[in-house]
Structure 1
């Protein structure tokens, strides 16, 4: 691809960062998806973005499916490219968006995975608390479970966003939306110990900044860094099977609903724009109740 396309992609990334306030992880996904399509254009001898047709996109979709990619992955790639073309429409660089004609593949519905209470205890037990990094990791786990915030929202948390008096955090969510989320006494104690005995030591050889969670060098902890830490905690625990860090968010929502929280409250705490995004957790709790009944009722 020529340099003009690279400049265009750079301006699109800046638009996602500044105007849409997307997380670094999301932006990297967009960038990867678009660069992948650029390679396809080179292979198909398509000289310009304006020359891409619906027929070309159909060929591209066929190649994606031949790779046995999940429908959700294909949908994400098409969504990235549709947004990229919409941006070019906005900038009046073309007159139509060929990706607007593409029907998204129907995504198979899967219930979100979550940790049971005993599994959460195993995760907390896997954290050491006698080092500065251990205190940070424990505080990280406590906060994610206590608030259900996304990993990207957690990495962007700053000192001023945490109110220890009211036990709340100000979360900067998707699309520049902000919300206040409370946290309980366990998270409160863990966060205070981290600030007093962990963060200060980690910041010893680093210039001052106000990001709440820091890495071992004292710099801001990235979303990718948080994922690495959580995966390590999971590895150190006795838990088996397929586990991913986003399960802590699912666990937060599921446990709230299981213990009587109403749907609207959980929606607000999670920062979901639509109630339909939250309703999936009712299926999880209903399935949990069904299994409990089948396992314990004498005439099940």
Structure 2
């Protein structure tokens, strides 16, 4: 999977450079090199940056009427940036996506200034679109357990080893709070055998690694899958396999959860990533402290983790309103 991500990143970067003015392409190549070598951003993140800057430059080109070169970027005014944002808004692009491509453009602008290639102050002079604050939507404890319980899949017509695999992946997402990309990036050697360890080294965003505890029940579920898997799970090969033996695709896990949603009567918000939200929210509800949860989730900033405190408070208030005899007025 990592090689595929790297190939996609390279394609996105080549496309970005091919569609830029020659002097801008040279500056972009230097910026992309900095992202990969100095900041050690993952291939997926580099791909996203390249795609978003390409989008910004493409909309700017339509606004200016020609492909922007370095002189155009230096002459850019706040009204030009607002025109780009307005064009994206007219295309129906949501505010969060607009903020993302604007952030990528600002990153490129900071690179130009650091390298003495010019100043693009217009990018920072314009306030980005307001992004509505939304809370994560975790599952209840019973629903999260049901998604990861092999017994829930009784009667499913698919092969038993595939059912065991799906249950193992979802148990890992909920039991350790991993991102789906982190879980599917594990090698066989990363997972301890039952009784021989209770932690794994996870490779997260930006090439950062962290130690994450794994419940004994999760290790047993993964061991049951490994014993049932018809493919040889070499130590340095992906742990989770698709039906044909290749690395398991995130989309297959998403489809498995969609199938379970119907059987369990769960809302559309029940996704593999919702299990990560559930992990954090349930830990916090049971007395876990934010700093520890931040480390377990691999968040770079505590402010990112603090959103789960709001989720826990919202859940508490909903329970109070539903149960307290004086919570409603007549």
| RMSD over equivalenced CA pairs, Å | 3.0
Q: In 1, distance between residues paired with 2:117 and 2:258?
A: 44
Structure 1 residues 41 and 107, CA gap change in structure 2 (3 angstroms): closer
**How far 1:299 sits from its partner (Å)?**
3.6
Q: Which moved more, 1:93-102 or 1:179-188?
A: 93-102
Match of 1:194 in 2: 225
Equivalent-residue separation in structure 2 for 1:2 and 1:108 (angstroms): 33
Q: Deviation of residue 232 (structure 1)?
A: 4.6
Task: Name 1:31's counterpart in structure 2.
Answer: 50
In the other structure, the counterpart of 1:251 is 278
TM-score when scaled to structure 1? 0.83
Partner of 1:156: 185
Moved more, 139-148 or 71-80: 71-80
Structure 1 residues 85-100: aligned runs within 5 Å: 85-90=109-114, 92=115, 94-98=117-121, 99-100=123-124
Contact kept in structure 1, 2:254 and 2:272, CA below 8 Å: yes
User: Match of 2:98?
Assistant: 74
- Judged with a 3 Å threshold, the aligned counterparts in structure 2 of structure 1 residues 294 and 208 are, in CA distance, closer, same or farther, namely closer
1:47 paired with 2:67, answer yes
The unaligned stretches of length 5 or more in structure 1 are none
Distance 1:236 1:67 in 2: 37
Q: How many residues align?
A: 295
- Which residue of structure 2 lines up, in the alignment, with residue 174 of structure 1? 205
Unmatched tracts of structure 2, length 5 or more? 1-18
TM-score (structure 2 length as normaliser): 0.77
Preserved contact between residue 151 and residue 227 of structure 1 (Cα < 8 Å): no
The superposition leaves residues 205-248 of structure 1 with CA deviations (integer Å, 9 ceiling, x where unpaired) of: xx984222222232233555544554454455432334443211
Q: Per chain length, whose mean CA-contact separation is higher, i.e. which structure has more relative contact order (CA < 8 Å, sep 6+)?
A: 1
For residues 47-99 of structure 1, give each alpha carbon's deviation from its aligned partner in whole angstroms, at most 9, with x where no partner exists.
33421313322210111222343322211111122223334455x37222342
Greater displacement, 24-33 / 48-57: 24-33
Correspondence for 1:262: 289
Task: Return the alpha-carbon distance in structure 2 between the equivalents of residues 222 and 87 of structure 1.
Answer: 35
2:238 maps to which residue? Answer: 211
Separation of aligned partners in 1, 2:131 and 2:187: 36
